[in-house]
Amino acid sequence: MRLLRHSTTASAHCDLPCGVYDPAQARIEAESVKAIMEKYQGNEDPVFRTRALIIKEQRSELVKHHLWVLWTDYFKPPHFEKYPKLHELFNNATKAAGAAGGKGTVDPAEGQKLLDLIAEIDTIFWETKKAA
């Protein structure tokens, strides 16, 4: 029976050792989304515009992916208790990357809104890293 008993209990605030999560991944993709929106606005070539839309949608999907990983894998209940607006922030950011924003518009102002939301998440993320 002694062999089946746990001898050590470990806990962590995320599912892997710290250092693997970073909002920078979402920010870099969101910067691409905004840049593509700007290039789209400055070019009338239909072939260029079609390619820009395809790439913008791919990058927007990557933004959502990176945000979801942070939301579901890094942030834990104590974070959401300490930062009550975190769920809403992630919800708004993923929507800003989705059909309501990055995927559904070519307005660079919407791309900037997405970057601003990611910046808020980034601030909270780094605050949680200091406390860890």
What is the per-residue pLDDT across 27-71, written as a single tens digit (0 to 9) for each? 999 999 999 999 999 999 999 999 999 999 999 999 999 999 999
Number of domains the chain contains:
1
Tell me, yes or no, whether 14 lies in a domain.
no
Q: Is residue 47 part of a domain?
A: yes
CB-based contact 27:125 (threshold 8 Å): no
109 in a structural domain: yes
Residue 67 forms part of a structural domain: yes
Q: Which residue reads 């920010």 in tokens?
A: 27
Better-predicted residue by pLDDT, 14 or 2: 2
pLDDT tier, 1 (very low <50, low <70, confident <90, very high otherwise): low
Q: What is the pLDDT of residue 103?
A: 85
In the predicted model, is pLDDT for residue 15 greater than 90?
no
Domain harbouring 103, CATH code = 1.20.120.400
For residue 12, tell me if it sits in a domain: no
Instruction: Note the pLDDT of residue 17.
Output: 54
Q: Look at residues 59, 61, 120 and name the one whose alpha carbon lies nearest to residue 90.
A: 120
- Extract the tokens encoding 51: 């390619």
Bin 16: left if φ > 0, else alpha if -120 < ψ < 50, else beta: beta
- Residue 53, in any domain of the structure: yes
In sequence order, what are the residues at sequence separation of 6 or more whose Cβ sits closer than 8 angstroms to the Cβ of residue 101?
Answer: 60, 95, 110, 111, 113, 114
Structural domain harbouring 35: 21-131
Question: Which pLDDT band, with edges at 50, 70 and 90, does 100 fall under?
Answer: confident
Has residue 1 been placed in a domain? no
SS3 15: coil
The answer to whether residue 85 sits within a structural domain is: yes
